[in-house]
Structure 1
Amino acid sequence: MSVKQNNLKSWFKSGTPWVWMNAGAVSIAVIMTLGLMMVIAVRGLGHFWPADIVEADYQVPGESVRVMAGEITQIEEVPRARLAASGLPVTAEGGEFMTRELFKVGNREVFGADFTWVVGEWLSNPRTPENLTAFERREWGNFYGYLINVKENGQLVAEGDASWSALQERIERVEQLHQQLVRLEKKDIGRINAGLERIRLQTRKLELQGELDAVAQAELDAERAQWDAEYKVLETELIALNQAFNRDSVTVKTVDGREVTLSLGKVVRAFQPNAMGLGDKLGFYFAKLWEFVSDDPREANTEGGIFPAIFGTVMMTLIMAVIVTPFGVIAAIYLREYAKQGPLTRVIRIAVNNLAGVPAIVYGVFGLGFFVYVLGGSLDRMFFPESAPAPTFGTPGLLWASLTLAILTLPVVIVATEEGLARIPRAVREGSLALGATKVETLWRVVLPMASPAMMTGLILAVARAAGEVAPLMLVGVVKLAPSLPLDGNYPYLHLDQKIMHLGFHIYDVGFQSPNVEAARPLVYATALLLVLVIVVLNMAAVYIRNHLREKYKALDH
């Protein structure tokens, strides 16, 4: 055997090739992950940039020229034969491919759809007029056109060059009124409705108990009258705000010459991206980003923000962590420290490990059947009979979603904690017992603190899995739209029976159930990026706590 062959054989025996192979696999995985995150970030965050509005002449062969305007959101090359098969008058002359562009034309009430595909070769004379205005609305999507005038209660107040400043002043006023309306409806009127509902339930409860006498009825009527009087005051204020909210309007001319009147009560903002400089566009971009993470959704979740989904995801994950941690730790302590190590214990460990591989939807069905129908229905019959037939806890909600995720992630916490307990040297336990400590004191003061980093590792894995789950949550508490948060100022403040929104389900809903697919597509990427960031933040917080505990009890390991 030659020297080269001996060296090659020794090199393989040393394990160096496998080290390089593993390092290469890890590098490829990291590059693919970063590439995926880059694609999601570019496509998601790019949605909020104020793109130029292009106006161009469009002529289909054999038809008259028409003017169209909008944002170019996608450009692709398609075979000429494919366009001909779709019914377009495409000739055989030219290359094999033609350009197809997706225009966001807005003006849904005029054109019937927000987006339209056009053939790039049939577009001519593209231009970007600086006074071409985009109106972002609370419903019906964007409207593109030229501002003609501003009216107040139908009376002309500004036109021509003075219209733009008058428009911005009134939009700012409308936004302030909108915030007042939301605060009035959600907080003040919501508080009154919650009070009236409590009175109704209290009345029904006294009826079922046979204790609704004249004195109790008089007290309830007096309290109801107080709420009604407060509501009448707020109702008057609400009517006045609505009248002021819908006072102003604008007249806008579309690029094809039609004039349309828009109520400013339905306009969120108006901007002219073709006239905006880099600084203005950056300011607009970050304002839209802030709206995305802090506002409620609009337009079937394709516009506005996703704050209720962020809040619901974080709240549910935190409640899940509070539930799963003590149960997982207690189960691991029993299996490692107290249970007799025999065939039964081994079977239990195998069962726990197998539970970690059960499909998530199975946990959702279990949560719906046991938590919602059995446990929730029993709670309603025992503690909330006055609410019947409307369920209180016998319906999907925040509590059952959190419990279902806790059951789903329980095996992960048990396994991680048990491994941490197994790594504690026996000499440490024996030393504590030799100094006179009981077994419970040894566990509480010595073993558990040393095993706390492993517990946090289990919790990190549990949070990472739970925050991204979707399938079980569709059955036990997550819905398409729930703008009211489960945490508010109305007793009992944390409403565990309330349904919530979730970032994972929001991605599914926007991506696959939206009536406006083209408008929803960029929000799928933006929401996916935000979900990853939320999971990273939760995990980093848990990692920080774990590292702190590891440093604190490092001396005990030696």
Structure 2
Amino acid sequence: MKQQNLKTWFKSGSPWVWMTAGGVSISVIMTIGLLTLIAVRGLAHFWPADVLEAEYRVPGQEARVLAGELVEAEEVPRARLADSGLPVDVNGGEFMTRELFKVGNRELYGADFSWVVKEWLENSRKPSNLVVLERREWGNFYGYLLGVKESGRVVAEGDAAWNELQARIERANELHGQVAHLEQKEIGQINYALERLRLKTRSLELAGKLDAVAQADLDAERAQWDARYKELEAKLVALQQEFNRDSMLVRSVDGRELEVSLGKVVRAYQPNAMGTADKLGFYGSKLWEFVSDEPREANTEGGIFPAIFGTVLMTLIMAVIVTPFGVIAAVYLREYAKQGALTRIIRIAVNNLAGVPAIVYGVFGLGFFVYVLGGSIDRLFFPEAAPAPTFGTPGLLWASLTLAILTLPVVIVATEEGLARIPRALREGSLALGATKAETLWKVVIPMASPAMMTGLILAVARAAGEVAPLMLVGVVKLAPALPLDGNYPYLHLDQKIMHLGFHIYDVGFQSPNVEAARPLVYATALLLVLVIVLLNMSAVYIRNHLREKYKALDH
């Protein structure tokens, strides 16, 4: 009886339903677990951790004082420590604890991180007046504030130095913003105009139209820009002098003193003296800096806004390019092409293209788009810029086109499936009322298939935004802080190279000279990339659902 019931249960298909549900549940749990791991390790990086100061006494050596943030700890066999040259008693316990500290002070110690044996740390403490300096270069500094100087003269010492330091750091940061704006915007605009003027001169020269009148006009315009440049240059020199006016005297925990220019300091804080509210405020400011600022210190510090902007802009341009081409190809294959062996071969080829490795598309984009098409555009439209390439080099346009080719099969297949689901009766009814085939297609078929088109676009965006391999060949670089969208004509610079979140993760995680400092940023950037893709997809899903509701009545 039990055997009969078991056979009936298997024939009912219930086991396969439960297996499918179990597989989906495991996939969801693994996805949530992965995202949680990325979020915890990435977001924890911005929390102002307490700084520990202790005496590190290696057996047989003189004790030294160190201070830093505890990054991680691990149990290590004593034999392994002994093999590394440390004076470890191998007859003790089996394991010892090894801790990784972020000690900063790179100009003093040569490295930002140091491994220590926990059992050799003595007199551990967390001084409330220990200062952490986050600098634009050379990483963090850990030590004590001695005084604040203005133009080489001490203006504050002791307890009054801290408030004076905060006020002057705020002033220095404001001046840094003014200097950056002057260099990147105003002077950058002049340099851009002078370069366009040079190209115009060369173009007239090649065309044989550079006569005395044209040369005089060009010289007059160049003189105006040169005069404006000299004014801004004088203003910049004055700002830089003000920017570098203040400095601070600090002492490391091992007693060494040095002077640090406040122009090199982003912020100074005392994590051991901060309460929960202060740490939350600091945490929010660091998160905002991460998503809104430019990178520094070989991409291991600062923000990643250029990478966010480049990823979103490239994906949007890709969507604008791939959608019409994919829809047109699908409409032709479904509505106009004769359904036969050739059409089936084309569909098989389209489906197979979806499985081609992404790097192959990158090689194609480099060979065809950059060298052939870009080189031809340069010869035809930009001969005055030769031998420097304009479009004959990797850039935003070629990266977007390469991703469009990569995701084109997805849009074609999804659109074809949407067209196939539209009842034939709707087409015949439209034709019976006097509409032409083109009118039926434009006003009935395509609007009803638009949710399927959006589905294809969603899949295309999800794949394109996370691709890295082809982009390394066709336009994405390690550092490009200048955005491809600015106030200089033609405003959107399709020939400019960009940063990308996916490539940023690869570069920081595998090419960084400071691996330990870069590791948390890998998790933080990966989380941000997931959020960007989710945001783009949710926008497309909202549009798809709106279109689905709009044309739902026609399905009935």
TM-score by length of 1: 0.99
- For residues 25-78 of structure 1, the C-alpha deviation after alignment (integer angstroms, 9 at most, x for no partner) is 000000000000000000000000000010001011100111100000011111
Name which of 295, 299, 302 aligns with 1:301. Answer: 299
Residue in structure 2 matched with residue 391 of structure 1 by the alignment: 389
Distance 1:314 1:197 in 2: 29
- Give a deviation string over 1:58-105, Cα, whole Å, max 9, x none: 011100111100000011111111111111111113211110000100
The partner residue of 1:429 within 424, 427, 448 is: 427
Q: How does 1:131-150 map to 2 (within 5 A)?
A: 131-150=129-148
2:86 corresponds to: 88
Work out which of the residue numbers 449, 455, 458 in structure 1 matches 2:456.
Answer: 458
Identity %: 82
CA RMSD in angstroms comes to 0.5
Matches within 5 A, 1:325-344: 325-344=323-342
Counterpart of 2:489 (choices 484, 488, 491) is 491
Matches of residues 355-504 of structure 1 in structure 2 within 5 Å? 355-504=353-502
Aligned counterparts of 2:84 and 2:60: Cα–Cα separation in 1: 16
Q: 1:128 aligns with which of 100, 115, 126?
A: 126
* Among candidates 527, 544, 547, match of residue 542 of structure 2: 544
Q: Deviations over 1:149-182 (max 9, x none)?
A: 0000100100000100000000000010011011
2:52 matches 1:20: no
Runs of 4+ off more than 2 Å:
none
In structure 1, the residue matched to 2:505 is: 507
In the TM superposition, 1:109-128 aligns within 5 A as: 109-128=107-126
- 2-structure distance, mates of 1:470, 1:355: 18
Instruction: Report what 1:212 is aligned to.
Output: 210
**1:292 paired to 2:290:** yes
SS in 2 for 1:482: coil
Aligned mates of 2:168, 2:335 — CA distance in 1: 70
Tell me how far apart the structure 2 counterparts of residues 314 and 444 of structure 1 sit (CA, whole Å): 30
1:32 to 2:17 alignment: no
Separation (CA, whole Å) in 2 of partners of 1:368 and 1:82: 49
User: Alignment partner of 1:100: what SS?
Assistant: strand
Structure 1 residue aligned with 2:182, among 177, 184, 203?
Answer: 184
Alignment-mate amino acid for residue 482 of structure 1: A
DSSP 3-state at the match of 2:111 = coil
Corresponding position: 1:528 with 2:526: yes
| Deviations 1:305-326, CA, capped at 9 Å, x for gaps | 0000000000000000000000
Q: Alignment partner of 1:134: what SS? A: strand
Q: Given residue 149 of structure 1, which amino acid in structure 2 is its aligned partner? A: G
CA distance in 2, matches of 1:92, 1:429: 85
Alpha-carbon distance between aligned partners in 2 of 1:442 and 1:81, rounded to the nearest angstrom: 80
Q: What is residue 256 of structure 2 aligned with on the other side? A: 258
Deviating more after overlay: 320-329 vs 75-84:
75-84
Q: What is the alpha-carbon distance in structure 1 between the residues aligned to residue 145 and residue 481 of structure 2?
A: 33
Does residue 1:240 correspond to 2:238, yes or no?
A: yes
Q: Distance in 2 between matches of 1:209 and 1:316?
A: 36
Q: Is contact 2:398-2:475 (8 Å) kept?
A: yes
Farther off after superposition, 7-16 or 417-426: 7-16
Letter in 2 for 1:513: Q
- For residues 102-154 of structure 1, the C-alpha deviation after alignment (integer angstroms, 9 at most, x for no partner) is 01000000001000100111111110000000000000000010000000010
Question: Secondary structure in 2 aligned to 1:62?
Answer: coil
How many positions carry a matched residue from both structures?
556
SS at match of 1:374: helix
**AA at the equivalent of 2:92:** G
Structure 2 distance, partners of 1:70, 1:18, is 55
User: Within 2, Cα distance between the matches of 1:474 and 1:510?
Assistant: 14
Pair 1:59 & 2:29 matched: no
- Is 2:39–2:527's contact at 8 Å kept on the other side of the alignment? yes
Match of 2:171 in 1: 173
Distance 2:523 2:350 in 1: 35
State the shift of 1:391 in Å: 0.2
The answer for the alignment partner of 1:276 in structure 2 is 274
Amino acid of the structure 2 residue aligned with 1:478: V
Residue aligning to 1:312? 310
Asked if 1 retains the 8 angstrom alpha-carbon contact of 2:82 and 2:90, the reply is no
How much has 1:252 moved relative to structure 2? 0.4
Partner SS state of residue 159, structure 2 = helix
Give the residue type in structure 2 aligned to 1:554: K
Letter of the aligned partner of 1:157 in structure 2? V
How far apart, in 2, do the equivalents of 1:44 and 1:319 lie?
29
| Paired residues of 2:399 and 2:475 also in contact (CA < 8 A) | yes
> What amino acid does structure 2 have at the position aligned with 1:34?
I
Normalising to structure 2: TM-score of the pair? 1.00
Q: Residue 346 in 1 paired to residue 344 in 2? A: yes
Q: Distance in 1 between matches of 2:428 and 2:92?
A: 87
Q: Distance in 1 between matches of 2:3 and 2:86?
A: 68
CA distance in 2, matches of 1:466, 1:181: 37
Aligned to 1:556: 554
Unaligned runs of 5+ in 1: none
Structure 2 CA distance for aligned equivalents of residues 364 and 546 of structure 1: 30
Alpha-carbon distance in structure 1 between the residues aligned to 2:430 and 2:540: 29
Distance 1:96 1:37 in 2: 36
Q: CA deviation at 1:9?
A: 1.2
